[in-house]
Structure 1
Amino acid sequence: MVAHLLRLKLLLLRNGLRRSPWQVVGLLLALLYGLVALVLVLAGIAGLAVVEDVGLRRDVLVAGGALLVLGWALLPLVAFGVDATLDPARFTLFPVPRRQLLAGLALAGLVGVPGFVTVVTVAASVVVWWRQPQALPVAAVGAVLAVALCVVGSRATTTALAPALSGRRSREVVGVVAVVLAVGVYIGFGRLTQGLGEGVDVAGLRGLLADLAAVLAWTPFGAAWAAPADAAQGRWGTAAARLLVLAAAVAVLTVVWDRAMAHALVRPAASAPAGAVARGLGLLGRLPATPTWAVAARCLTYWRRDPRYALSVLVVPVLPVVLWAFGAGAYGVLATVPLAAFLLGWSVSQDVSFDGTAFWLHVSAGLRGRDDRAGRVLGVGLLLVPLLVVLAVVVALLTGSARHLPAVLGAALGTCLTALGVASVVSALLVTRVQQAGESAFTTRQGASLAAVVSQLGGMTVGLVLAAPELVLAVLAVAWSSAPLGWVALLVGAVLGGLLLVVGVRWGGHLLDRRAPRLLQALVTMR
């Protein structure tokens, strides 16, 4: 049965590649990324193998190994549902012994690019101890247990949390928390990089790494890589204790996974909460009853409830913080405001793609293209323009650049309105493969056409060129500390951006009147 499950995973992988050539391209790209990461890691391991300091080897391996194990445990929380080809719930109606199913799913979890990279990396870490042959058996045992911990921990996480994450809201909350944690790690790395560039005390960093490794070495995350160092130094009892901690963690997680799987096989997670009833029309019943406002209400509902749109909003606070983390000055942080404004405005270019086959409502109702374009722009404007104003004010005050606020507002308003206008035209020409409603917002759909990619890049380039006047005026106003020029930039941004927005809505509406059925046909084939 275990061998049959492995063959089933390989068969599903092969059939997925046969379905579309873009699946092959996606796999090759993933393999390329994995190989690049693997080469970098192997180069680091090779360099570490020639280091004579046993303590340094241990500390680096413990820190890196802990990140690897945590990645396997936390990644399913971010990309929940990415690989559900062998979901235990799919075997509910089959009389497969649970222990054999457990073993088969564990081995199948290593089939793929992440599993290949992990196995090779962990196996290569054993070679670090070639100078101390007595540590090699301990390192080999620790490597096997570490791989088992990665797989079992990942499967236990997804299976045990499946009932809690079956709802869309739960997945959104977990995804946002994971993004915040990732941004926090990124910021910390940026500040550390900046500190190294300014001459941080290397001895202090070495001490910090040693203290961190000393703590992780007694946890399942780092025990596998600390035990060989103990064996190399003759501390066999300590090495055995660390392996015992690791083996106990694998055993406990296996039991957790087994119990969670037993529950999942008997009571599969429901796709929607029982008794959920929609009341009222929401925004559709509160805004004016016109085609334009109906589209705006639907778009505002998407921005409030769809995690795919929520990721675009996260760009607003993240960009300035990331630039600050890597040591950008006040002017660099100010530049993130018009950049965030342009990206938020450009998000409309994928509105029709995010609609998916639901776009048939617009086509069958005979909605005018101009109303469609205006409604989408109105929905985004009601939500994002106030947000951008708040962002510009906060960033200007925190960076001590309040005098530059008119110039920053002019650049942000002009780029946002220009991006909305150009995006209204681009989204009426082509649709792209995006995450479908209900899918993880962190996954990437394969099969994007070259024409769609070129249209996105070309449209963004055109938008930036059209927004150049207010951007140039804003840069000059900030560089020369000219308040009058800043007000001119604000006026030019509002007037020119508004004009381009009107032109884009009218032109995009005209294109949509002619191409709506063709866009719907493309959306149906992309499912």
Structure 2
Amino acid sequence: MVATLLRLRFRVLGNQLARSPWQLVGFLFGCVYGLGMLGGVVIGLVLLGSAPLDLASAVVVGVGALVTLGWVLGPILVAGVDTTLEPDRLVTFPMTVDRMMVALTLAGVCGIPGIVTSLATLATVATWVRTPASLAAWVVAAPLSILTAVIASRTMAALAVGLSGGRRFREIAGVLIFIPLVLAGPIIIAVTTGLALNIDTVSVAVEVVSWTPLGAAWAIPAAAAAGDFLPGLVKFLIAVGTVVILWVLWRRALGDALVRPRNAGGAAAKPGALGWFGRVPTGGFGAIYARSLTYWLRDPRYLRQLIVVPLVPIILWFYARGGDALGAVSWSGLLIALVIGIVIYADISYDGTAFGTQLATGVSGRADRYGRTLAAATLALPLTLAGTILPFVFSGEWTQAPAVLGASLGVLGISYGVCAITSAQFVVPVAAPGDNPFKRVPGVTFVQGLAFMGIWLVAIVLSAPSVVTALIAFFTGNAVLGLVAGLIGLVMGAVVFAAGMIVGGRTLDRTGPVLLSRLKAMRNA
């Protein structure tokens, strides 16, 4: 049965890639990236084989612990767990929970991250072949390291889903978990900078980590190479105990999830409670505006974008600390506009097959473009204004405000105009409402990132005249040039916005049925 499920896993993966050429490209890109990373790791491990034992131990144990931590946190913060064999869909198979867990573990090892991690772990033999004792310890430690990483990842996902009382809990958790991802750069830089100031701290930290579940398995060969057999035995027991505890936790969470599947339903609406639909004008524009605004206020897929807004000034201040931090924060409005102005490129993708209901009503493409864009602007415009004006309230440099304000509003208008056209031409794979927040389909992340970066690049290029002029005016203190920059931004933003509404509306009238067929294909993938 385990072999059957593994064959099913690769059959499902092949069908998914066959339906979407771009997803296949993303999958191949991930393979090439993984092989390149693996090649660099193998070269480094070979070189460590002739390095001093202390250095080799610190590098292997430290990096190995970070890899294990990445398996635990990566599914939450980055892309999710590959759920090609999702437990919910296996509940009807005639198999025990333990056998299902074995299949899911092997499926995790057979994915791109699992293959790269496994080969890199096996390549540590080049480092520990230096003594017979360390080589013998490696034979035991390498499988333990791989199992710890994969099972910890599965356990974390199962616990998070199993502990959730329903869809609302998962949505809130998904939004809150997004915060550490946004601040990951500053946090990593702060930690590495602090360690760089005191290099002795690194060896002490690695020694401490070697006694934890994250690093115990990786430290077994190092202890054997140093002749510390008793500490090595204790670390072996810690590693085995970690795998056993994770397996028990995963089994309990998975068993509960299979007996009591996740509640995908939403809360019941009160009779007569129309929400925004009762507060806007009737007609196609009003209905789309109300629906889109409801998404922005309640859908965690949109709320995750809004979380970035209050964090933008923090990030700018962090990277500019020691210099003109307040001056850097003055550009918060520009970055806020650039970030949340692009979100609506996936608006129709977030609709899913519900987009078919809109097509059936005969709403014009222009009404759709205006409704979705103005709903987004209802929140984005006040946030952009606040991010632009508040820094000048504290700095008092009001002569520089027109340049930044005009450029920021221009970026917002240009982003909306570009998205109005591009979102009427293609859709991208996105998470379904209430879906498993830890679900990832191979190749999809690359497609989403490619689409986002392409649209972002177009918006940046169109915004360049006003932004560059605003930067020159800001750093030279030229108030007249600042007014010119602000005017350029407002004019460019208005022109691109108007063009986007017209061209995007006409395009959507023509491509609506095609987009719906693609959405159905993605849903069935």
TM-score by structure 1 length?
0.85
Deviations 1:473-494 (A, max 9, x none): 3123213202343344334433
Q: Could you tell me whether the CA contact under 8 Å between 2:80 and 2:440 is conserved in 1? A: no
Q: How far apart, in 2, do the equivalents of 1:107 and 1:201 lie?
A: 37
Q: Paired residue for 2:407, among 408, 411, 419?
A: 411
**In 2, are the aligned partners of 1:190 and 1:326 still within 8 Å (CA)?**
no
Q: Could you tell which deviates more after superposition, 441-450 or 54-63?
A: 441-450
Task: Map residues 319-358 of structure 1 onto 2, 5 A cutoff.
Answer: 319=312, 321-322=314-315, 324-326=317-319, 330=324, 334=330, 337-358=333-354
Give the equivalent residue in structure 1 for 2:381. 385
The residue type equivalent to 1:48 in the other structure is: L
Q: Within 5 Å, which residues of 2 pair with 1:88-487?
A: 88-165=87-164, 167-191=166-190, 195=193, 204-272=197-265, 276-279=267-270, 280-319=273-312, 321-322=314-315, 324-326=317-319, 330=324, 334=330, 337-396=333-392, 403-428=399-424, 430-438=425-433, 439=435, 440=437, 443=440, 446=443, 457=454, 463-487=459-483
Question: Does residue 494 in structure 1 map to residue 490 in structure 2?
Answer: yes
Residues 395-420 of structure 1, C-alpha deviations (whole Å, 9 max, x = no match): 55678865522211111011211222
Unpaired runs of at least 5, structure 1: none
Query: Is contact 1:219-1:245 (8 Å) kept?
Result: yes
CA distance in 2, matches of 1:453, 1:236: 50
Secondary structure at the residue paired with 1:96?
coil
- Residue 444 of structure 1: how far off its partner (Å): 6.8
Q: Secondary structure at the match of 1:234?
A: coil
**Amino acid across the alignment from 1:236:** F
Asked if 1:46 corresponds to 2:46, the answer is yes
Amino acid at match of 1:414: G
Cα separation, 1, equivalents of 2:212 and 2:98: 27
Higher mean displacement: 434-443 or 222-231? 434-443
Q: Give distance in 1, aligned partners of 2:309 and 2:178.
A: 14
Q: What residue ranges of structure 2 are gaps of 5+ in the alignment?
A: none
Change (3 A) 1:511 1:99: closer
Distance between the aligned counterparts of 1:207 and 1:400, measured in 2?
Answer: 45
Q: CA–CA distance in 2 between the matches of 1:201 and 1:144?
A: 31
Question: Given the superposition, is the C-alpha separation of residues 145 and 465 from structure 1 closer, same or farther in structure 2, using an over 3 Å criterion?
Answer: closer
For 1:267 and 1:486, the matched residues in 2 are separated by 61
The alpha carbon displacement at 1:142 in A equals 1.7
- Contact 2:421–2:503 (CA<8 Å) still a contact in 1? yes
**One-letter identity of the residue aligned with 1:121:** A
The aligned amino acid for 2:58 is: D
Whole-angstrom distance in 2 between the partners of 1:480 and 1:176: 40
Which stretch of structure 1 is more off in the superposition, 259-268 or 145-154?
259-268
- Structure 1 segment 31-42 matched on structure 2, within 5 A: 31-42=31-42
2:453 and 2:239 map into 1 onto residues whose CA distance is: 49
Alpha-carbon distance in structure 2 between the residues aligned to 1:401 and 1:190: 30
Change (3 A) 1:472 1:264: closer
Q: CA RMSD in A?
A: 3.4
Q: 1:138·1:231 contact (CA, 8 Å) conserved in 2?
A: yes
Indicate conservation of the 8 Å contact 2:137/2:220, yes or no: yes
Q: Deviations over 1:296-328 (max 9, x none)?
A: 221111112223323433444455544555558
Residue 3 of structure 2 is matched in structure 1 by: 3
Q: Is the 8 A contact 2:164 2:170 kept in 1?
A: yes
> Relative to 1, partners in 2 of residues 1:447 and 1:180: Cα closer, same or farther, differing over 3 Å?
closer
* CA 7–500 in structure 1, closer or farther in 2 if over 3 Å, else same: closer
Following superposition, the deviation at residue 349 of structure 1 comes to 3.1
Any conservation in 1 of the 2:175–2:300 contact (CA below 8 Å)? no
CA distance in structure 2 between the aligned counterparts of 1:70 and 1:140, rounded to whole angstroms: 22
In 2: Cα distance, 1:243 partner to 1:92 partner: 35
Pair 270,81 (structure 1): closer, same or farther in 2 beyond 3 Å = farther
Given that 2:79 and 2:440 are in contact with CA atoms closer than 8 Å, whether structure 1 keeps it comes out as no
Contact kept, 8 Å, 1:134 with 1:231, in 2: the verdict is yes
Cα distance in 1 for partners of 2:515, 2:502 equals 18
- Superposition deviation, residue 361 in structure 1: 3.0
The structural deviation recorded for 1:165 is: 4.1
Pair 1:12-2:12 in alignment? yes
Quote the Cα distance in structure 1 between the aligned partners of 2:54 and 2:394.
43
Deviations 1:451-504 (A, max 9, x none): x979983x6565445434432431232132023433443344334423442343
Instruction: Give the deviation of 1:385 after TM superposition.
Output: 0.8
Retained in 2: the 8 A contact 1:371–1:509? yes
Q: Distance in 1 between matches of 2:443 and 2:480?
A: 49
Distance (whole Å) between structure 2 residues aligned to residue 283 and residue 341 of structure 1: 24
1:302–1:309 CA contact under 8 A, matched in 2: yes
Taking the aligned partners of 2:292 and 2:138, their CA distance within structure 1 comes to: 56
Tell me if the contact between 2:83 and 2:441 (Cα under 8 Å) persists in the aligned partners.
Answer: no
CA distance in 2, matches of 1:384, 1:296: 14
Distance (Å, rounded) in 2 between the aligned partners of 1:229 and 1:400: 59
Q: Distance in 1 between matches of 2:470 and 2:43?
A: 46
The 8 Å contact of residues 337 and 409 in structure 2, kept in 1 or not, is answered as yes
Change (3 A) 1:180 1:388: same
Aligned length: 515
Distance 1:227 1:513, change over 3 A: closer
Q: Deviation digits for residues 50-95 of structure 1, max 9, x if unmatched?
A: 221x223222222211111122222333478753333333333333
Distance change in 2, residues 1:181/1:44 (3 Å): farther
Structure 2 counterpart of 1:405, one-letter code: A
Output the amino acid matched with 1:341: A
Cα distance in 2 for residues equivalent to 1:22 and 1:495 = 36
After superposing the two structures, state which structure 1 stretch, 206-215 or 459-468, moved more: 459-468
Q: Which moved more, 1:130-139 or 1:440-449?
A: 440-449
The TM-score, its normalising length taken from structure 2, stands at: 0.86
- Paired amino acid for 2:268: V
SS in 1 for 2:124: helix
Q: Deviations over 1:105-127 (max 9, x none)?
A: 32232111111111111112233
The residue identity in structure 1 corresponding to 2:306 is: V
